[in-house]
Amino acid sequence: MREAEQRGLAYLFKLRLTANVKRMIERLSTQREWANTGQGWQAKESLLRLEGWSRQRRVIILRRRVRATWRYLSNETSGQQTLSFVDVGAGVDVYEYSVLAHRSTRSL
């Protein structure tokens, strides 16, 4: 990102869901002002400074509601992976998230 910024280039990076990113998502997830972006996705904009970054950067948080039943992999204490299914009850909203670091060369 730093190299792109020094060269004045636009960029878009998908961030890993690290502890600091998850903390930001938790803080923003309770807010109601999410913009609908189509195909079931909603978006919100924020600023974030992660470890190793020299400054705050603009990020876009995308979320979409997950269907009532979904699956996940977990590791048993023996190290064996197991596939589990979770049935989420009616009235409970569960979302999947993607977080993007963004810099545009256009002025808004």
Residue 32 lies in a domain: yes
0.75 exceeded by pTM = no
Residue 42 has pLDDT above 60, yes or no: yes
Residue 71 lies in a domain: no
- For the chain, the domain total comes to 1
- Lowest model confidence (mean pLDDT) among 29-43, 50-64, 77-91: 77-91
Residue 74 lies in a domain: no
Structural domain that includes position 34: 2-66+94-103
Which 8-state DSSP code applies to residue 30?
Answer: T
**What string of DSSP letters covers 37-100?**
EETTEEEEEEEE--TT-SS-EEEEEEEEEPPSEEEEEEE-TTS-EEEEEEEPPTT---EEEEEE
Mean pLDDT, residues 57-62 = 94
Largest CA distance in the chain: 53
- Lowest model confidence (mean pLDDT) among 43-52, 58-67, 75-84, 97-106: 75-84
Per-residue pLDDT, 69: 57
Rounded percentage of the chain residues whose pLDDT exceeds 70:
73
Residue 81 lies in a domain: no
Residue 88 has pLDDT above 60, yes or no: no
Residue 94 has pLDDT above 60, yes or no: yes
Residue 49 lies in a domain: yes
Residue 99 lies in a domain: yes
